[in-house]
């Protein structure tokens, strides 16, 4: 395979802000078509990324451009039929989070992908942040992670995602859930959770203790009714602890017998460009490399099923 031909569905903010700028830098990728229902967004995005073929019908685009892979960057309530059709035509598929509205949907998507032999990926970009990956390697040089924490806070107590079709945990805080799974390094063995509603009619705070079969203990701490956006992580192995703020401008502080070491997000990424420093470039690079190398991406639909299952277990295993 010389170049991977990719068709794009969606010309929204995330597409233009982080995903398409990443793909446009890859010399082994051709952007063969773009589809959106809004003519102004369609043309502006096509001109920006020099995409010649534009469409308002995604099925027509797939038929005419015959891509290797499709980026389906749509709101979750519109995602499922587009993904199922793309997979049914044998195209590899990349989607943003959340991977689906329900556990049933992502299971069906994973099943169709397996039957059709398609590579799939969900954009859980925290796993691909250069700082997160480097710190995880440093910690695991001392041994497996035995304790980890994933914290995600915002000041949006009445947050209503996509007019209420999906909840806070499944739609947005799922980033913290998925990263916790990645850090825990094993299958989920047991969960105990505390879920609350603060200054809202909807549940907006999700806290959980997760026991992994690797022996690691994981802690999820999210609250949408506090001071502001805070997204930090902890990784602990025997003799070493790391505290990470991976935002652009953030850093990791690592404590070990060697002393205290600090590494910044920008230092590891080599740039302060958000799409590179915050993992979006890395996840797309991983997706393309997996297509070329004939292997499933780390955050494929089958793996995303496990993250959605953990979301469900958090709801099911409340301590009250």
Q: What is the mean pLDDT of the chain?
A: 97
pTM here is 0.97
* Rg, Å, the chain Cα set: 20
What's the pLDDT tens digit per position in 262-319? 999 999 999 999 999 999 999 999 999 999 999 999 999 999 999 999 999 999 999 9
Question: Closest Cα to residue 241, out of 151, 145, 150?
Answer: 145
Asked if residues 127 and 163 have their Cβ atoms less than 8 Å apart, the reply is no
HEC per residue, 91-132? CEEEECCCCCCCHHHHHHHHHHHHHHCCCEEECCHHHHCHHH
**What b/e string do you get for 214-241 counting C-beta neighbours within 10 Å, with b at 16 or more?**
eebbbebbbbbbbeeeebbbbbbbeebe
Extract the runs of DSSP E, i.e. beta strands, from 156-306.
188-196, 205-212, 217-223, 225-237, 240-244, 251-256, 259-264
| Phi, psi torsion values for 180, nearest 5 degrees | -60, -40
The architecture of the domain spanning 126-272+301-316 is 2-Layer Sandwich (3.30)
Looking at residues 108-125, what average pLDDT do you find?
A: 98
* CA 174 vs CA 219, 236, 319: distances in Å: 14, 22, 20
Q: Is the dihedral of CA 287, 293, 298, 302 positive or negative?
A: positive
- Strand, helix or coil for residue 57: coil
Q: Tokens for 31?
A: 């952007």
144-169 pLDDT per residue, tens: 999 999 999 999 999 999 999 999 99
What is the pLDDT averaged over residues 24-29?
98
* 16 burial via Cβ count (<10 Å: 0-12, 13-18, 19+): middle
Q: State the first-to-last Cα distance of the chain, in angstroms, to the nearest integer.
A: 55
Going by C-alpha positions, the residue among 224, 111, 241 that lies closest to residue 175 is 224
Task: Give per-residue pLDDT as tens, 270-283.
Answer: 999 999 999 999 99
Residues 16-23, mean pLDDT to the nearest whole number: 98
| Contact (CB, 8 A) for 24 and 280 | no
pLDDT of residue 320: 82
Sorted by sequence, the CB contacts under 8 Å of residue 317 that are 6+ apart come out as: 190, 191, 192, 193, 208
Query: In which band, very low, low, confident or very high, does the pLDDT at 1 lie, cut at 50, 70 and 90?
Result: low
Give me the residue spans of the domains in the chain.
Answer: 4-125, 126-272+301-316
Condensed to tens digits (0 to 9), the pLDDT of residues 195-208 reads 999 999 999 999 99
Cα–Cα dist 4/1, whole Å: 7
Angle formed by the axes of helices 103-116 and 301-316, nearest 10°: 160
Q: Residue 92 and residue 61: Cα distance in Å, rounded? A: 15
Alpha-carbon distances of 314 from 103, 166, 205, 318, 319, rounded to whole Å: 13, 16, 11, 7, 10
- Architecture category of domain 4-125 in CATH: 3-Layer(aba) Sandwich (3.40)
Q: Measure Cα distances from 248 to 20, 93, 134, 261, 275 in Å.
A: 19, 28, 15, 18, 10
């Amino acid at each position: 395979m010389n170049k991977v031909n990719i068709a794009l569905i969606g010309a929204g903010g995330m597409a233009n802000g982080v995903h398409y700028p990443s793909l446009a830098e890859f010399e082994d990728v051709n952007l063969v078509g773009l589809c959106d229902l809004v003519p102004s967004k369609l043309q502006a995005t096509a001109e920006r990324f020099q995409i010649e073929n534009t469409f308002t019908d995604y099925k027509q685009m797939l038929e005419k451009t015959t891509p290797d892979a499709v980026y389906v960057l749509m709101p979750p309530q519109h995602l499922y039929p587009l993904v199922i059709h793309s997979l049914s035509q044998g195209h590899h598929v990349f989607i943003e989070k959340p991977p689906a509205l329900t556990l049933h949907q992502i299971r069906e998507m994973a099943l169709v992908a397996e039957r059709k032999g398609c590579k799939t990926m969900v954009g859980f970009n925290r796993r691909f942040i250069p700082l997160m990956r480097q710190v995880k390697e440093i910690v695991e040089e001392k041994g497996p992670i035995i304790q980890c924490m994933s914290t995600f806070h915002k000041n949006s107590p009445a947050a209503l995602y996509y007019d209420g079709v999906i909840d806070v945990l499944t739609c947005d805080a799922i980033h913290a859930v998925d990263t916790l799974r990645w850090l825990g390094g094993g299958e989920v063995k047991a969960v105990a959770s505390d879920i609350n509603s603060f200054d809202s009619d909807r549940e907006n705070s999700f806290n959980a203790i997760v026991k992994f079969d690797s022996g690691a203990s994981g802690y999820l701490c999210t609250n949408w009714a506090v001071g502001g956006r805070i997204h930090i992580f902890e990784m602990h192995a025997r003799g070493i602890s790391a505290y990470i703020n991976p935002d652009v401008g953030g850093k990791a502080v690592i404590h070990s017998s060697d002393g205290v070491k600090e590494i910044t997000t920008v230092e590891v990424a080599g740039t302060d460009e958000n799409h590179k420093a915050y993992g979006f470039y890395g996840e797309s690079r991983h997706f393309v490399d997996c297509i070329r190398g004939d292997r499933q991406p780390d955050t494929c639909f089958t793996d995303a099923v496990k993250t959605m299952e953990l979301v469900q277990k958090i709801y099911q295993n409340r301590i009250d």
